[in-house]
Amino acid sequence: MSVVAAHYQLSLNGHTVAITNPDKPLWPSAQVTKLDYIRYLLLVAKPMLAYTRNRLLTVIRYPHGVGDKHFYQKNVPDYAPDWIATQEWEQVRYALCNDEATLIWMANQAALEFHVSFHLADDEIPTELVFDLDPSTDDFSVVIEAALLLKDLLDELGLPSWIKTSGASGLQVYIPIERRYTFEQTRQVGQFIASYLVEKHPSLLTIERLVKNRGEKLYIDYLQHWRGKTLAAPYSTRAKERATVSTPLRWEEVPNAHPSLYTIKTVPSRLETMGDLFAPVSSPSSLSSLDPILSFLRTKM
């Protein structure tokens, strides 16, 4: 890293990436500057890129830091360097977050959240089944209870699952699946599992889409899992006051988990100690079949 006229230049993947305004506070309350953010991303780049690679990227940019104006960016801006890999999908030219240089260039543009698709850029085959557990209150114990109920059901169905914090208020559960199903099929399975849990725990859970009709129930979102839609990537920061991070967990950690525990300042040491807990999703050694559930559902139609 070299200092050049009040900014930094990084040499990454054979490209030079300038870091402008390194002292700009991006998370003022957490005292995290742009340079702090860049350093964090370099520490988590390998496991983060293992999942984001070749997926359609949407970023949320906060030019003046969290708490100020922000905007979503799907199309690669015209001024982006030509070495950033891209893919056109439904008339949008998406960036692919495939290397450190792209990751850091986006970060220098104050992209504070990285959200990626559930499928790779060159096809529309879901790589996993995903549930987003979205609470209606600040009581995180409800999220924990819902996650553990979901895991028990998935275990009964023979579907190994992995979990991460959203980095905001919820938890997200991933099941790596064989790459031969359509999103229509994964939605059938997702709806079946979510509806079953709601039927068993009607006072705790809901699949009601309208927020105003949920009351204090936790929303099991299976609808977000669809072509072109996204969730925060593992290890992506979130534009929250404490600079929280979407962080993979061990299931045994879930009973004592809380989003505020996993931040830019705590996740790197955690990664160093525990390794990449999302590796079974990013680079799965085994994939689940949804055939038994789909066959069962066909008998009920």
Q: What are the boundaries of each domain within the chain? A: 2-122+230-249, 128-225+284-300
Q: What is the distance between the alpha carbons of residues 20 and 35, in angstroms, rounded to a whole number?
A: 9
Which among 1, 189, 234, 277 is positioned nearest to 97, based on CA atoms? 234
The confidence band for 8, taking pLDDT boundaries of 50, 70 and 90, is confident
Amino acid identity of residue 191, one-letter, is Q
Q: To which H or E segment does residue 111 belong?
A: strand 111-120
Residue 6 pLDDT grade (very low, low, confident, very high; cuts 50, 70, 90): very low
Q: Judge whether 215 and 242 are in contact, CB under 8 Å.
A: no
Q: Report the pLDDT value the prediction gives residue 155, as an integer from 0 to 100.
A: 98
How far are the Cα atoms of 26, 60, 72, 210 from residue 114, in angstroms, in the given order? 15, 7, 10, 26
Give pLDDT, residue 300. 82
Tell me the sheet residues that pair with 128. Answer: 176
Interatomic CA distance for residues 138 and 249, integer angstroms: 20
CATH superfamily of the domain spanning 2-122+230-249: DNA primase, PRIM domain (3.90.920.10)
Q: Does the pLDDT value for residue 5 go beyond 70?
A: no
Mean pLDDT of the chain: 96
Per-residue pLDDT, averaged over 242-252, amounts to 98
Q: Which fold does the domain 128-225+284-300 belong to in CATH?
A: Alpha-Beta Plaits (3.30.70)
Give CA–CA dist 129/282, Å, rounded: 13
> Over the stretch 206-232, which tens digit does the pLDDT of each residue have?
999 998 899 999 999 999 999 999 999
Which SS3 state, helix, strand or coil, does residue 287 take? Answer: coil
Q: pLDDT tens digits, residue range 250-286?
A: 999 999 999 999 999 999 999 999 999 999 999 999 9
Sign of CA dihedral 215, 168, 122, 110: positive
